């Protein structure tokens, strides 16, 4: 391979495999850095982008991948505070800093956000160029693989639990969907002081895993009315907060029904179905809330790294397998079909 060239996994056309091809190594402009990739997680969003097209990209061909970590390889003009060789995780969207949400510190919902692998080239590649403001330092005792999944599979549920759901000490919570994000959400609810955590999933395998990371009670969603089980687990009142990580109407409906009066449901999963839940009478009478939660703010990722560094996060089951870049299509397909009950499949460039 030429010194100025690198390999990248690029989407040319929806529903066709990503092409692993040789392209030019990008050059960092002012305020940007070139990062040599070490790891990048495969997300459910990659499945939607590559395989079913429910997430559209701004252009093609585009390099996918938005859960990156690596090492700074070159610095553009005017970059201060960073050096070649620094270990970094990358906040996966470039924000404007000028729109109303950015001004309030909610950069996660920047109106002009440009997401890696959606609006600009992502990280299933040997190198990526990114503004230095997107970098978060990786603590010495956190691996590149762990840091990579922190950027989305970690930070997204962290944001949902701490900012959108605002779980308080002593509350009872239910987690609908115990895959990559739900598993981490269980741990964040525990750290937030939740008294009881009820894990709901259709897979017994996922439920056992949920128990290992801190769930207290499990409910198999395959039964007829899982919300009734969830409610009875909290003296029949229902839970204070329910989180939904699946993105299907049935799960959102069950999450809302499992709430106590005055409870709040936070939905994180993405899917094409319409949300069609309970009647306004039930919803209003019970003073319920249904809250969407998208991604995370860069400050969430910063705090998450501090938690990971403290050893208070069990990341031992967060990465279920590691594959090389040229097997990324297999990884995306395995995630879609849930081959081997994946939590997070990570592409390694090491």
Residues engaged in binding Zn ion (CB under 5 A): 43, 45, 95-96, 99, 102, 110, 112, 152
Tokens of 17: 């495999």
- Region of residue 144 (phi > 0: left; psi between -120 and 50: alpha; otherwise: beta): alpha
CB of 152 to Zn ion, least distance (A): 4
CB of 102 to Zn ion, least distance (A): 3
For the chain, how big is the Rg over CA atoms in Å?
20
Edge-to-edge strand list for the sheet holding 19-24: 19-24, 5-11, 62-63
CB of 320 to Zn ion, least distance (A): 16
- Output 45 or 134, the one with its CB closest to Zn ion: 45
Strands 5-11 and 19-24, bridge-based pairing: antiparallel
Give the residue from 4, 9, 6 showing the smallest Cα distance to 327.
9
- Using CA atoms, how far apart are residues 64 and 53, in angstroms rounded to an integer? 13
CB of 111 to Zn ion, least distance (A): 5
| Residues sharing a CB contact under 8 Å with residue 53, sequence separation 6 or more, in sequence order | 14, 15
Tokens of 347: 């592409």
- Output 43 or 305, the one with its CB closest to Zn ion: 43
- Output 57 or 95, the one with its CB closest to Zn ion: 95
- Output 152 or 229, the one with its CB closest to Zn ion: 152
- Output 63 or 95, the one with its CB closest to Zn ion: 95
Phi, psi (degrees; rounded to nearest 5) at 184: -70, -35
CB of 45 to Zn ion, least distance (A): 4
DSSP states of 111-163: TT-EEBTTTB--SSBSEEEEEGGGEEEPPTTS-HHHHHHIIIIIHHHHHIIII
- Output 102 or 123, the one with its CB closest to Zn ion: 102
CB of 69 to Zn ion, least distance (A): 14
Is residue 270 within 8 Å of 295, Cβ to Cβ? no
- Output 25 or 64, the one with its CB closest to Zn ion: 64
- Using CA atoms, how far apart are residues 2 and 184, in angstroms rounded to an integer? 40
- Output 12 or 103, the one with its CB closest to Zn ion: 103
CB of 348 to Zn ion, least distance (A): 18
CB of 224 to Zn ion, least distance (A): 32
**Helices (DSSP H) in the chain: which residue ranges?**
44-47, 100-103, 144-149, 155-159, 180-191, 204-212, 226-232, 249-257, 280-285, 298-310, 328-337
């Amino acid at each position: 391979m030429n010194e100025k060239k690198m390999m990248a996994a690029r989407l040319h056309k929806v529903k066709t495999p990503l092409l692993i091809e040789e392209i030019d190594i990008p050059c960092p402009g002012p305020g940007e850095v070139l990062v040599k990739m070490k790891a990048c997680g495969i997300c459910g969003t990659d499945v939607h982008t590559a395989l079913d097209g429910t997430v559209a990209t701004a252009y093609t061909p585009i390099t996918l991948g938005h859960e990156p970590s690596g090492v700074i390889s070159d610095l553009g003009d005017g970059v201060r505070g960073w050096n070649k060789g620094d270990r970094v995780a990358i906040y996966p969207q470039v924000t404007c800093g000028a729109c109303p949400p950015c001004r309030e510190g909610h950069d996660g919902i920047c109106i002009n956000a440009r997401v890696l692998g959606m609006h600009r080239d992502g990280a299933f590649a040997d190198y990526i160029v990114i503004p230095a403001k997107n970098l978060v330092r990786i603590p010495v005792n956190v691996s590149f693989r762990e840091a990579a999944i922190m950027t989305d599979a970690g930070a997204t549920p962290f944001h949902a639990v701490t900012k959108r759901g605002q779980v308080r000490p002593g509350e009872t919570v239910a987690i609908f969907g115990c895959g990559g994000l739900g598993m981490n959400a269980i741990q964040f609810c525990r750290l937030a002081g939740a008294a009881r955590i009820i894990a709901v999933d259709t897979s017994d395998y996922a439920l056992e895993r949920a128990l290992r990371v801190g769930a207290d009670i499990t409910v198999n969603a395959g039964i007829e009315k899982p919300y009734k089980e969830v409610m009875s687990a909290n003296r029949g009142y229902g839970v204070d907060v329910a989180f939904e990580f699946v993105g299907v109407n049935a799960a959102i409906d069950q999450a809302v029904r499992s709430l106590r009066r005055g409870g709040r449901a936070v939905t994180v999963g993405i899917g094409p179905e319409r949300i069609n839940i309970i009647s306004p009478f039930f919803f209003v009478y019970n003073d319920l809330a249904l809250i969407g939660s998208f991604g995370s703010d860069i400050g969430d990722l910063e705090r998450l790294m501090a938690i990971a560094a403290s050893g208070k996060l069990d990341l031992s089951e967060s990465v279920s397998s590691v594959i090389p870049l040229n097997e990324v299509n297999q990884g995306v397909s395995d995630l879609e079909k849930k081959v081997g009950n994946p939590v997070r499949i990570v592409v390694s460039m090491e």
